[in-house]
Chain A
Amino acid sequence: MSENIQALTDELARVIAEKLTQEDLVGVVVPRRNGSGAAAPHLFAPGEEVTDLSLSPWYHPLNAVVRLQKAYPEARLGVVVRGCDQRGLVELAKRQQVNLERLVLIGLACTGEEAQECGCDKPAPAQVDVGVAPPPARNFIVEEFLKKPLAERREFWRQQFARCIKCYGCRDICPQCFCEVCALGESYWVETGELPPPFPIFHLIRAMHTVGKCVGCGACEKACPAGIPLTILYDLMRAELQAELGYEVGRSVDEPPPLGTEEYQGKMSY
């Protein structure tokens, strides 16, 4: 397994170095391992030796890309994207958060093991430059959750959300949470000064606000210090959105955000 990752890392480093020489780029954003073994996004400039890449643990590079683009709108940036990152960029682009024309994407396919770890049904970007797209994986955690009757589900979430320390980590790490004023900080939606935060409105508001944007990268769940399985909630909402409105998150920049528009196909059941 580690040999596999090592081979992928070497190939990725080669492709990055190639892109840096071929294209007129300011740099390429990719997670890099620091001295303590943790990963953080790094901007490799042309001429810099591409070393210490961190494929595992992966660090989703979207926040770094958005910030870099906001600070330097003219810069042509390269970025290494996995499937979820690429779909996230599509959703950000249609909401004017990134300019795809100034980005050069280097598509990295997840390994079959990584896909199974995430239970990911789309473990590769639209264009794969490094690696081989694995088959979609089944999400056993979600399948198991769906077997619970309603009362058990609510009890499940009650226990999970009781551990929330309201660090806002899920919101802050999320590339799709770019609102300047967040409803979770507004006392008329969520009572302030309570710990754990008001059950269940705190988490349900976030789940509702990410509908149509969440691509299921799982950054929120990894960032959660309490280990709340947030992706169950968001994955199921994404599946419902596709089933009801036919909106596949991250499919195309030309599809307008599903809930913010007037188009109505009359498929919804209420």
Chain B
Amino acid sequence: MATDSFEPRIVGFLCNWCSYAGADNAGLGRLKYPENIRIVRVRCSGRVAPDLVLRTFQEGADGVMVLGCHFGDCHYTSGNYRTAKRIPMLRKLLEIFGIEPERLRLEWVSASEGQRFAEVVTEFTETIRRLGPLDLHPKRSTTPASGATNE
């Protein structure tokens, strides 16, 4: 597959209280960001178990973003502190295993940071575009099925 025709499949786990509202804010502000990201709303970034991220890669994501509240802003007081330890450890595991750790990104985006959300997603999409498809299953086709595009 030529790199310029490659459209990264990105899954974003956004916390309900800050980052999802931040994405909403980006929409309200008519800010443009790549449509490659598929957003999954979760109650808290602390809910994003490493298993969930691994399964997302397993199912064919080229990149995964975990977005949560800034420190001190967690709706559940401490969920993001746990995320801040788990996701970096998972990045280390990916690196040891041989997946570029840049494919997993943890960022803090508050409800008012629509601009920041758009920037982070744009920048991440460009990173994944540069890295190319994550070819975990070479025997399987890496082109997304027609039904798998964004609705």
Asked if A and B are interacting partners, one says: yes
Using a CB-CB cutoff of 8 Å, which residues 235-270 of chain A contact chain B?
236-237, 240-241, 244-245, 258-264, 268-270
**In the complex, how many angstroms separate the beta carbon of A171 from the nearest chain B beta carbon?**
15
User: Which residue from A156, A208, A262, A268 sits with its C-beta under 8 Å from B54?
Assistant: A208
In the complex, B30 has a CB within 8 A of chain A? no
**Interface pair A200/B51, CB less than 8 Å apart:** no
In the complex, A183 has a CB within 8 A of chain B? yes
In the complex, A68 has a CB within 8 A of chain B? no
Mark interface residues in B92-129 (1 if CB within 8 Å of A CB, else 0).
11011111100001100000000000000000000000
Across the A-B interface, give the 3 residue pairs with the lowest CB-CB distance, nearest first.
Answer: A154-B98, A153-B98, A262-B78
> Beyond A200-B97, A237-B93, is A205–B82 a contact (Cβ under 8 Å)?
no
**In the complex, how many angstroms separate the beta carbon of A199 from the nearest chain B beta carbon?**
7
Interface Cβ pair total, 8 Å cutoff:
88
**Interface pair A268/B92, CB less than 8 Å apart:** no
**In the complex, how many angstroms separate the beta carbon of B138 from the nearest chain A beta carbon?**
9
Residues of A within 8 A of B84 (CB): 264, 268, 270
**In the complex, how many angstroms separate the beta carbon of A152 from the nearest chain B beta carbon?**
7
Measured between alpha carbons, how far is A77 from B81 in the docked complex, in Å?
Answer: 39
Residues of B within 8 A of A244 (CB): 88-89, 92
Total count of chain A residues near the partner, CB < 8 A: 37
**Interface pair B97/A153, CB less than 8 Å apart:** yes
User: Which residue from B93, B99, B105, B106 sits with its C-beta under 8 Å from A154?
Assistant: B99
**Interface pair B89/A198, CB less than 8 Å apart:** no
- Given A156-B98, A198-B58, 15 more A-B residue pairs with CB atoms under 8 Å apart are A148-B98, A150-B95, A153-B96, A154-B99, A155-B98, A157-B97, A200-B97, A201-B58, A205-B51, A207-B93, A208-B50, A208-B54, A211-B93, A263-B81, A270-B91
User: Which residue from B51, B57, B82 sits with its C-beta under 8 Å from A189?
Assistant: B51
**Interface pair B89/A237, CB less than 8 Å apart:** yes
**In the complex, how many angstroms separate the beta carbon of A233 from the nearest chain B beta carbon?**
6
In the complex, A132 has a CB within 8 A of chain B? no
Residues of A within 8 A of B58 (CB): 198, 200-201
A-B contact pairs, 12 of them (CB 8 A): A150-B99, A153-B97, A157-B98, A201-B57, A204-B97, A208-B90, A233-B96, A244-B92, A259-B82, A259-B89, A260-B82, A270-B106
Hey, which bits of chain A sit against chain B, CB under 8 A?
148, 150-157, 183, 189, 198-201, 204-205, 207-208, 211, 233, 236-237, 240-241, 244-245, 258-264, 268-270
In the complex, B136 has a CB within 8 A of chain A? yes
> Beyond A189-B55, A201-B58, A270-B91, is A258–B96 a contact (Cβ under 8 Å)?
no
> Beyond A204-B54, A262-B81, is A233–B97 a contact (Cβ under 8 Å)?
yes
Measured between alpha carbons, how far is A64 from B97 in the docked complex, in Å?
Answer: 32
**Interface pair A240/B92, CB less than 8 Å apart:** yes
Measured between alpha carbons, how far is A258 from B92 in the docked complex, in Å?
Answer: 15
**Interface pair A154/B92, CB less than 8 Å apart:** no
Using a CB-CB cutoff of 8 Å, which residues 69-90 of chain B contact chain A?
71, 78, 81-82, 84-90
> Beyond A183-B51, A201-B55, A204-B93, is A268–B85 a contact (Cβ under 8 Å)?
yes
User: Which residue from B55, B71, B89, B136 sits with its C-beta under 8 Å from A240?
Assistant: B89
Measured between alpha carbons, how far is A201 from B88 in the docked complex, in Å?
Answer: 17
